[in-house]
């Protein structure tokens, strides 16, 4: 039997290690993977290169925030379920609390800084998403089949955007990938510690995940509770996002702005501000939950949204680890994931056009600002947080 004291000490160790990452890991999900490898494979030697590669592959397969899921899996390897929770809390709290505070103060910031500050955040956010589209297309939409799926998804969502259309596009991507992309899966070294995990708790975790996905919308409608409705929206978003943090933008925009919970300018400004913070981009949920005006507002709304958007991952990671070694060797499963990933590029491209560019670019000078921000990010390779802060301050000062 494991010593409870040693388990508690291991979980505390995990929390402190990931809190350090949450305070310093700038640059988005791709950069987070590099930080994690350096910290937990090279420096701390918590797991081998083979085990890290295996957990990274799993994080790419699941919906949700890939870098956060990798962190959860590392924490679970180190200290069980307590380690999973400790890793999530340590990595998420700094950015999450900052975004909740920003959402709570959003109206006051607009009054103080004026619309120029918000415009600079929107310009920087558009450039960040443009860079994400280009980067993802180079890896996820390579070849005529994947590129065609991405372009078709983008055109379809530009013509008919909305949460149902996005769900349909993602499902179609998985189906086309299953039929057209049945390639042999890459050889990923097995991790014997994953094989040893019991399957019964995993089945319970997956069952809870599915029950919440099905029941939360029903309870929100039945109870007419703003708080349950908010939780339902963010839980569904966290369950359906493939491709990482940037792809959360179109799903949340349709849900939140479409319902009138938040105006588009504030929504996009908050997304831009999230680029300036370390830790997961999904912390943007805290801003939306705190700033929206129909459901539970302020700190309560921010905490509900932040918890709900990560809850699917907190259930999926322990629910899939015991089965991962068997599933990852199936070409069909791999093809479906590749198809969804290709379509995700189109989903993000459609979000770049609408609402980002259509609401941000209102004059010729705005095109120049977006292009300049992109050059700073992609050519000069300045960190996103610096570009975001610089453009917000510059436009805020000029337009005051």
pLDDT at 296: 57
161 backbone dihedrals φ, ψ, rounded to 5°: -95, 150
Q: Is residue 249 part of a domain?
A: yes
| Average pLDDT for the chain | 82
Spatial contact of 206 and 291, defined as CB atoms under 8 Å apart: no
Distances (CA, A) of 36 to 49, 53, 103, 221, 273: 11, 11, 29, 41, 23
Render 365-397 in DSSP notation, one character per residue.
Answer: HHHHHHHHHHIIIIIS---HHHHHHHHHHHHHH
Q: Is residue 145 part of a domain?
A: yes
pLDDT of residue 294: 55
- The pLDDT tens digits of the residues spanning 209-224 come to 999 999 999 998 898 8
pLDDT of 194 reads 47
Which pLDDT tens digit goes with each residue over 225-277? 888 989 999 999 999 887 566 677 777 887 888 788 888 888 887 887 787 78
Distance in angstroms (rounded) separating the CA atoms of residues 62 and 55: 11
Asked whether residue 25 is domain-assigned, the answer is no
Whether 383 is in a domain gets the answer yes
In-domain check, residue 329: yes
- Please state the domain count of the chain: 1
- Confidence check: pLDDT of 291 > 90: no
* Cα atoms in the Cβ-side hemisphere of radius 13 Å centred on 353: 15
- 46 within a domain of the structure (yes/no): no
Find the helix or strand (DSSP H, E) in which 281 lies. none
What are the angstrom distances between the C-alpha of 144 and each of 135, 161, 344? 17, 24, 16
Neighbours of 9 (CB within 10 A): 12
Q: What is the pTM of this model?
A: 0.74
| pLDDT on residue 347 | 79
Within 8 A by CB and 6+ apart from 247, the residues are 241, 344, 347, 348, 351
Lowest mean pLDDT among 69-73, 307-311, 359-363, 370-374: 359-363
Q: What is the pLDDT of residue 1?
A: 41
> What pLDDT is attached to residue 305?
93
Residue 74 lies in a domain: no
Q: Is the dihedral of CA 81, 82, 85, 87 positive or negative?
A: negative
pLDDT tens digits along 108-128: 655 555 566 667 777 877 887
Question: Can you tell me the mean pLDDT for 367-391?
Answer: 87
| Sign of the dihedral through C-alpha 243, 245, 246, 250 | positive
Question: Is residue 386 over pLDDT 80?
Answer: yes
- Please check the confidence at residue 400 and state whether its pLDDT lies above 60: no
Token pair, residue 377, equals 């990010």
**Mean pLDDT on 310-330:** 84
Q: Which residue has the tokens 């090279």?
A: 42
Q: Mean of the pLDDT values across residues 59-70?
A: 84
Summarize the confidence of residues 383-394 as an average pLDDT.
80
User: In this structure, is residue 34 part of a structural domain?
Assistant: no
């Amino acid at each position: 039997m494991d010593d409870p004291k040693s388990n508690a000490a291991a979980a505390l160790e995990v929390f402190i290690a990931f809190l350090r990452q949450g305070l310093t890991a700038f640059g988005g999900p791709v950069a987070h993977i590099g930080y994690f490898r350096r910290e937990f494979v090279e420096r701390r030697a918590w797991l081998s290169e083979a085990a890290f590669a295996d957990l990274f592959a799993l994080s790419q397969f699941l919906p949700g925030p890939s870098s956060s899921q990798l962190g959860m899996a590392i924490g679970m390897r180190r200290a069980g379920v307590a380690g999973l929770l400790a890793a999530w809390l340590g990595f998420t709290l700094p950015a999450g609390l900052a975004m909740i505070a920003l959402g709570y103060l959003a109206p006051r910031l607009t009054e103080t800084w004026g619309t120029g500050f918000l415009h600079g955040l929107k310009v920087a956010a558009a450039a960040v998403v443009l860079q994400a589209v280009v980067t993802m297309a180079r890896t996820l939409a390579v070849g005529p089949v994947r590129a065609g799926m991405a372009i078709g998804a983008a055109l379809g969502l530009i013509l008919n955007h909305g949460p149902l259309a996005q769900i349909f596009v993602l499902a179609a991507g998985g189906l086309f990938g299953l039929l057209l992309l049945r390639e042999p899966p890459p050889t990923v070294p097995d991790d014997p510690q994953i094989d040893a995990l019991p399957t019964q708790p995993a089945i319970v975790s997956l069952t809870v995940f599915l029950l919440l996905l099905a029941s939360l919308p029903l309870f929100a409608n039945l109870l007419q509770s703003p708080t349950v409705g908010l939780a339902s929206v963010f839980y569904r978003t966290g369950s359906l996002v493939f491709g990482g943090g940037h792809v959360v933008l179109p799903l949340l925009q349709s849900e939140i702005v479409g319902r009138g919970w938040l105006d588009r300018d504030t929504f996009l400004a908050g997304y831009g501000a999230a680029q300036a913070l370390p830790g997961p981009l999904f912390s943007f949920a805290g801003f939306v939950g705190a700033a929206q005006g129909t459901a539970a507002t302020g700190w309560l709304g921010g905490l509900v949204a932040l918890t709900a958007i990560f809850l699917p991952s907190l259930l999926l990671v322990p629910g899939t680890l015991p089965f991962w070694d068997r599933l990852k060797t199936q070409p069909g499963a791999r093809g479906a994931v590749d198809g969804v990933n290709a379509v995700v590029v189109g989903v993000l491209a459609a979000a770049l056009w609408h609402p980002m560019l259509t609401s941000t670019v209102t004059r010729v000078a705005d095109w120049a600002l977006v292009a300049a921000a992109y050059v700073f990010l992609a050519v000069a390779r300045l960190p996103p947080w610096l570009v975001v802060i610089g453009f917000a301050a510059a436009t805020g000062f000029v337009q005051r």
